[in-house]
Amino acid sequence: MKKWIVLTFLIITGLIAQAQSEMKTEQGFLFSPHAAWNVAGGDLEQRFDNFASLGLGVDYKLKNNFIFGIDYDWYFGDNVKDNGLFSNIGGTSGAIIDQNGDFAVIQLNMKGNYATANVGYLFNIVKNQPNSGLLFSVGAGMMQHRIDIISSQVTIPQVNDEYEKGYDQLTYGFATKQYLGYQYLVAKNRYHLRLGMEFNQGFTQGRRTWDFNANTSGLTKRFDRTIALKFGLIVPVYTKDKDDEEFFID
């Protein structure tokens, strides 16, 4: 399923890139479908290895080079660090026995969401490219992640439905981020790109009342961090033609 989602995202991104319009003025909307590779840090590193994400950014660039926008990223991966997640219902070997007396097959995936509102500034390097240059932005919003438990609901009822909530370690909370990268947006070129590093900090908390495995409260406060290498295409939609812009001379 994950492969099909990634493939669909790439196809849609390619079609958008082929259909995008030119940036004919120094202000307008910038739509940026993007993909990233995230290196987990802080408390997040104890639960997950590195993971991927897909997302979409919508920005508005002003003529003075300030940029305001929103970003959404969907986290996914099969990188869960088990650490005896089901040790309280497993046998001496740690394996779970299903209702048929067989060893249960359980797949653990990582799922998450990350949404922020951002403000940034574009530092032009080439004077005749007003929409290209070094982009620095900061943002704030919410980070959420959990363990997605995939198993047979018929033969392994102890980790399904409401019981799954005792093991999925749902976590979310306030988050901040900083982004530094390069934006390439030139009117004469068909493809417009962004490439940069993003630093994310999640001041999160577990949201399940009870952790079945640890047999303790699941409301632990956490500090989750990631460093993301992010690549995206830019689809510009200008709000004015250059000829329509008004100039006033005293």
* For range 215-229, the mean pLDDT: 94
Q: How many residues in the chain?
A: 250
The domain 2-80+111-147+171-240 is classified under which CATH number: 2.40.160.20, 3.30.70.260, 3.40.50.1100, 2.40.128.50?
Answer: 2.40.160.20
Where exactly are the structural domains of the chain? Answer: 2-80+111-147+171-240
For 46, the 3-state DSSP assignment is helix
φ, ψ (nearest 5 deg) of residue 49? -80, -175
pLDDT per residue as tens digits for the range 63-88: 999 999 999 999 999 989 876 787 76
In which element (H, E) is residue 44 found? none
* For range 151-167, the mean pLDDT: 75
Q: Which of 141, 140, 229, 236 lies closest to 182, judged by CA?
A: 229
| Higher pLDDT among residues 144 and 237, named by residue | 144
Residue 6 clears pLDDT 60, i.e. is over it:
no
Q: What is the pLDDT of residue 226?
A: 98
Long-range own/partner contacts, residues 16-22 (CB < 8 A, 24 or more apart): 16/233, 16/235, 17/190, 17/191, 17/233, 17/235, 18/190, 19/235, 20/190, 20/192, 20/233, 20/234, 20/235, 20/236, 21/235, 21/236, 21/237, 21/238, 22/187, 22/188, 22/236, 22/238
Q: What is the pLDDT of residue 2?
A: 55
pLDDT per residue as tens digits for the range 108-130: 999 999 999 999 999 999 888 88
Distance in angstroms (rounded) separating the CA atoms of residues 76 and 113: 9
Residue 195 clears pLDDT 90, i.e. is over it:
yes
Distance in angstroms (rounded) separating the CA atoms of residues 199 and 232: 16
Please check whether residue 166 is in contact with residue 210, taking contact to mean a CB–CB distance below 8 angstroms.
yes
Please check whether residue 35 is in contact with residue 77, taking contact to mean a CB–CB distance below 8 angstroms.
no
| Higher pLDDT among residues 234 and 163, named by residue | 234
Distance in angstroms (rounded) separating the CA atoms of residues 196 and 209: 38
For 239, the 3-state DSSP assignment is coil
